[in-house]
């Protein structure tokens, strides 16, 4: 069956109130409910990420997904794994994802990849962690709520497993992006 339209491009990101997303190539929090959301949402889909993000996840492909690592330093040896592909640009990642005949491609970071993908994105799945992280060295810049419609927001309260309150938000672009993106 041939894909009739381009897949949606969705950024999936967790950021603090100050847009912090990491420090020293690691997340700033442990939120098991958010991790379940990420897994369930991206399951069976292409997930594109930068090399540092891939390394921060142990340098192994996420199970049950088509993993696309964007890096100027291609690692063709690991491309022998069936669910892992290294590419040299975001455009190449999107092109490869289209070949999977998927309905959606997820962009999972880091900051540079998010910045490149945000102008192309149809949707942003943003877990807003309700705290600020002054020690962060990586941020999710450029997200302008004026360009997006908030479609849903599911709040979660901190508890024994979650150190922070957070809200999983779904944003969709107000104006459509041309089909030749």
Residues 12-65: tens digit of each pLDDT: 999 999 999 999 999 999 999 999 999 999 999 999 999 999 989 888 899 999
Q: Using pLDDT thresholds of 50, 70 and 90, give the confidence band for residue 122.
A: very high
Q: What are phi and psi of 135, to 5 degrees?
A: -85, 0
Mean pLDDT for all residues in the chain: 90
| Overall average pLDDT of the 88-98 stretch | 92
For the domain that residue 120 is a member of, what is the CATH number?
3.40.430.10
| Residue 1 reports pLDDT greater than 50 | no
pTM of the full predicted structure? 0.90
Cα angle 109, 82, 10 (rounded to 5 degrees) comes to: 30
Query: Does residue 44 sit within a domain?
Result: yes
Query: Does residue 94 sit within a domain?
Result: yes
pLDDT at 80: 66
pLDDT at 175: 81
Query: Does residue 1 sit within a domain?
Result: no
What tens digit of pLDDT does each residue of 2-14 get?
444 678 999 999 9
89 closest CA partner among 125, 50, 37, 33: 50
Token pair, residue 174, equals 């107000």
Domain count, the chain: 1
Query: Does residue 36 sit within a domain?
Result: yes
| Overall average pLDDT of the 160-174 stretch | 97
Query: Does residue 113 sit within a domain?
Result: yes
| Overall average pLDDT of the 87-115 stretch | 92
- Domain with 40, as residue range(s), is 8-173
Q: Using pLDDT thresholds of 50, 70 and 90, give the confidence band for residue 99.
A: confident
Query: Does residue 179 sit within a domain?
Result: no
User: What is the SS3 assignment for 152?
Assistant: strand
| Overall average pLDDT of the 149-170 stretch | 97
Token pair, residue 92, equals 């190449």
Query: Does residue 81 sit within a domain?
Result: yes
Query: Does residue 164 sit within a domain?
Result: yes
Do residues 170 and 125 make contact, with C-beta atoms less than 8 angstroms apart? yes
């Amino acid at each position: 069956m041939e894909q009739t339209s381009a897949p949606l491009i969705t950024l999936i990101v967790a950021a603090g109130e100050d847009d912090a997303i990491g420090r020293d190539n690691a997340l700033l929090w442990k939120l098991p409910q958010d991790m379940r959301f990420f897994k369930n949402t991206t399951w069976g889909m292409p997930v594109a990420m930068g090399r540092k993000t891939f390394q921060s996840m142990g340098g192994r492909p996420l199970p049950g997904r088509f993993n696309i690592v964007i890096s100027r330093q291609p690692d063709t040896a690991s491309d022998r794994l069936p669910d892992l592909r290294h590419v040299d640009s975001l455009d190449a990642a999107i092109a490869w994802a289209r070949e999977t005949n998927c309905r959606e491609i997820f962009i999972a970071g880091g900051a540079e990849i998010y910045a490149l993908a945000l102008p192309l994105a149809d949707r942003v799945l943003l877990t807003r962690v309700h705290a600020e992280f002054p020690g962060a060295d990586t941020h999710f810049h450029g997200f302008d709520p004026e360009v997006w419609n908030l479609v849903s927001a599911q709040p979660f309260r901190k508890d024994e497993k979650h150190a922070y309150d957070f809200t999983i938000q779904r944003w969709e672009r107000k104006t459509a992006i041309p089909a030749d993106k």
